[in-house]
Structure 1
Amino acid sequence: MPERSELTLEPRWYNPAMTDHIRTLPPEIVLQVLSYLCFEDLLAFGATCRPNYDYHLVSLRRLRLGVFERRVHSLISLLQAGWSNPDQLVSHWDNGDQESSYTISLVYPQSRASKDEPKRAYSTDSRRRAPAQDTPRSQEQMIRLQNQIFTRVVQRYGPSLRHLEFMAYDLNIDGAAALGSKCQHTLKHLALRFEHPHIRDGVIRPTTWQQPAPASEAWNSLIGVGSRCKTSGLQNLETIILERAGITPWQLMMLVKRNPGLRNLKLRTCRGARPEFLFWLGGIKDGFEDVEICSSEQAPTPGAKLEVLWLEHCHRLLAHPIDESESPLDDEDCDAGFEWVRGLKSLQSLSFSESANIPSELIDRANKTIWKIPDVVLPYCLYDENSSIAVDPRWK
């Protein structure tokens, strides 16, 4: 992917006659034509004049943005998220199959050693000065830089975006504030992907990606709460995808509550996937303190309209451990611990993939007996971290 630290408007062409001709076309035709441009050409078109700048702003409806420190990290993340396939990676800027859809991956150049730092590294043989080495940034520094770029993009294109996906290490207050204010009523699909198990160099260790990100007040900006938020937050979402998100159960409740049109909720390694949220989602209030959210104006079952619910790689879904040694429960009580699923009347897909401490037999029996959900993924783990990896003897 191209090594760029920011999105710039650098016109590569300008034809006044062509621009005058475009002005005579209906806006619908102009937007249709712009949908066939790659992102670089769209930026160039927007830099020619003010009317064209406005056209290029409203033409961007679907955007996938990833910001990384190394090109290889970007390539692997694009493949794992399904944003690109190996054939598409030959192109730096990918205009997707859908209208006005763009996948953009930025590689932020590594910082050089500071001028104030001593540079007296010598070879024991030639006594010549060694070249300056790239200084890896800390995770906090990289998160700040990632969100600076994200903020600039959202502030410019947020009001026209309907589909937005952001791939980075975490979300901070600046990025969340821009998202909550600029995409308040227009955004339909939001995906925040912060899990990258293949990145484990420098200061980042493999254990970083095994747990949710730290809890943060940044998520308050998405629900319209806090001193930094001047709006009521996101209100028109139909799809929410959160991977390795530090959003708390209460923040997740409020985010779902403020988006009554929500149909798809996919959580992976998410801090908010806790029993208090799940029981609230299914309309069961007993035993939990956060029942004030379920006010009289709220539907009896907040998750009644959900069609897709994924709880993947979430290990704290149960309020109490399940003792498999006990005698099996009767059919009407066989979903003990998961009674909240009964309140999700519209559910078509439910996934517990890679979620620990959940007996697969329990989920399978409960679905066949009570839930009757067409598509259920049982909580089988895809891999065991403590198991050995089999190697073909021919490659030893």
Structure 2
Amino acid sequence: MSDIISFLPLEIVLQILSHLPFESLLAFGETSRINYQSHILCFRCLRLGVFEKRTHSIISCLQAGWIKADQLGDIFPIERETGSDYTISIIRPKIKPTKHELSSKRSLKAKDARRRCPTDPSVMQDQTVRAQNKIFSRLVNRYGPSLVKLEFMAYDIHIESAMALGTKCQYLLRHLALRFEHQHIRDGNIKPSTWRHPAPCSIAWNLLIGIGQYKHIGISGLKTLILERAGITPWQLTMLVKKNPDLTVLKLKTCHGAQPDFLNWLGGIEQNADDLGDTDSDTAPGDRLEVLWLENCHQILTRSIEGHEDFADKICDTGLEWVRGLRNLNSLSFSKCMNLPSEYVERANKTIWKIPDVTLPFYNYEEGTPIEVDPIFL
């Protein structure tokens, strides 16, 4: 069968391979060097999640819309969708110590044992992040050059996976989603409050931008960028968006970079030519954006809006003036941005912005309507 396929045009081979389940596609790639190259080219869209428990994986995939409830069968955690679009969930196995390791541990002093087996939650979480990113980087190093759409679920980004993205997904990748928020994970050494705040800032984001010693790498062809619980700084986010001028969809959730420095630049306000390069004064850097979501971001106001009810109509968007520069927006979301009054956003949109779809920070419930409360906040 392999010999027969080798005589077919590459376009037909890829069409055939697109109908194979994930395991069969990998097996085909191991049969010969030519088939190995063909199976790599077949990977165009990949969703990858790496978790500690199967339950965590299932809930995360359901919340992100990667899978549907009726797909939870025996074939999960590897679920193939249509064409060459693959959703893969990997559960990291727990490593059991050998008898020799157990006997050695008993002989260690208490202090030395604590040093060898740290119980600090932050240390253990860092080890988990490194392990998750190691798996991700191996896949990206192999399949990255052919990927058009890539989504990754884990606890945070690490330098190893950022390097893989910056070197293997430079030009062809159009859709990138990095999802690091998993509020359902409330056991083990991870506190529930961990997911309510952005991850720690990291130089790993510099590898996606391509600055300093990494100036020859970085992603530059994105049209969609989704960041959840990302520790990227406002400056790093500015540079990343600037490097991808064709970006039309930007979704930020619990993102550290969603601050006035970035938003003012995005909307064409207070641009610094020395730092950000030459720009068209009549067009804001974010003018191409059609979708902008800022969810659970609490530092987006550029100034106080106290007494906003008394603002004149022409300045009723004070604090969010940068929105005016995003002239092609069709969808804007401030979901869970609790420092923004809903009536303030609603008035600014009706009076000035006139964006077709705006999600308010929170809903105004009618008097007497019961409000459901998440048990974790009780």
Task: Name 2:115's counterpart in structure 1.
Answer: none
Equivalent residue number for residue 239 of structure 1: 224
Distance 1:390 1:139 in 2: 25
Partner of 1:111: 95
Q: 2:10 is matched with which residue: 27, 39, 46? A: 27
TM-superposed CA distance for 1:321, in Å, is 3.2
The offset of 1:298, in angstroms, is: 5.6
Residues 127-276 of structure 1 correspond to what in structure 2 (within 5 A)? 138-227=124-213, 229=214, 231-276=216-261
Number of residue pairs the alignment of both structures matches:
351
Question: Shift in Å at residue 38 of structure 1?
Answer: 1.1
Work out the CA distance in 1 between the residues paired with 2:65 and 2:84. Answer: 18
Cα deviation, residue 25, structure 1: 1.3
Greater helix content: 2
Q: Which digits, 9 at most, give the CA deviation of each residue in 1:130-166, with x for residues without a partner?
A: xxxxx99811111000010011000000000000000
Give the alignment partner of residue 314 of structure 1, picking from 288, 297, 321. 297
With over 3 angstroms needed to count, the CA separation of the structure-2 counterparts of 1:382 and 1:81, relative to structure 1, is farther
List runs of 5+ in structure 2 lacking aligned partners: 108-118, 366-370
CA offsets, 1:149-199, max 9 Å, x none? 011000000000000000000001111011011000010000000000111
Post-superposition Cα deviations, 1:187-221, rounded to whole Å, max 9, x if no partner, equal: 00000000001112111000100100000000000
In structure 2, the residue corresponding to 1:33 is in which secondary structure?
Answer: helix
> Following the alignment from structure 1 to structure 2, what is the Cα–Cα distance between the partners of residues 52 and 195?
37
**Equivalent position SS for 2:68:** coil
* The one of 268, 274, 279 aligned to 1:283: 268
1:82 aligns with 2:65: yes
Distance 1:141 1:85, change over 3 A: same
Structure 1: runs of 5 or more not aligned: 1-17, 120-134, 392-396
Match of 2:330 among 342, 348, 368: 348
2:317 counterpart of 1:335:
yes
Q: Distance in 2 between matches of 1:382 and 1:187?
A: 40
Q: 1:370-392 CA distances to partner (integer Å, 9 max, x unpaired)?
A: 11100000001799xxx98499x
Change (3 A) 1:149 1:255: same
- Aligned residue among 57, 60, 68 for 2:40: 57
- The residue type paired with residue 160 of structure 1 is S
TM-score by length of 2: 0.88
Could you say what the CA RMSD is over the residues aligned between the two structures, in angstroms?
Answer: 2.2
In 1, the alpha carbon distance for the partners of 2:246 and 2:374 equals 47
Per the TM alignment, residue 319 of structure 1 is displaced from its structure 2 partner at its CA by 2.7
CA contact (8 A) 2:179 2:229 kept: yes
For normalisation by structure 1, the TM-score amounts to 0.84
The reply on whether 1:374 has 2:356 as its aligned counterpart is: yes
Q: CA deviation at 1:323?
A: 1.1
CA contact (8 A) 2:342 2:363 kept: no
Conserved in 2, the CA contact under 8 Å of 1:180 and 1:221? Answer: yes
Whole-angstrom CA distance in 1 between matches of 2:65 and 2:93: 25
1:73 aligns with 2:61: no
- Which residue pairs with 2:368 in the alignment? none
Query: What is the deviation of 1:54?
Result: 0.4
* One-letter amino acid of the counterpart of residue 51, structure 1: I
Letter in 2 for 1:25: L
Secondary structure of the corresponding residue to residue 234 of structure 1: coil
Counterpart residue identity of residue 40, structure 1: E
Letter aligned with residue 337 of structure 2: S
Percent identity of equivalent pairs: 57
Q: Per the alignment, in what secondary structure is the counterpart of residue 105 of structure 2? A: coil
**Aligned residue identity for 1:163:** K
Deviation at 1:297, TM superposition (A): 4.5
Following TM superposition, by how much is the alpha carbon of 1:117 offset from its aligned partner in structure 2, in angstroms?
Answer: 2.2
CA offset at residue 94 of structure 1? 1.4
Show CA shifts across 1:293-349 (max 9, x none). Answer: 44224674100000000000101111333214x652111111000110000011000
Deviation per CA, 1:108-135, whole angstroms, max 9, x where unpaired?
A: 012334533239xxxxxxxxxxxxxxx9
1:104 counterpart letter in structure 2: I
Distance in 2 between the 1:327 and 1:87 partners? 48
Match in the other structure for 1:130: none
Residue 365 in structure 1 maps to residue 350 in structure 2: no
1:218-242 CA-to-partner distances (Å, cap 9, x unmatched) read 0000000243x36231000000000
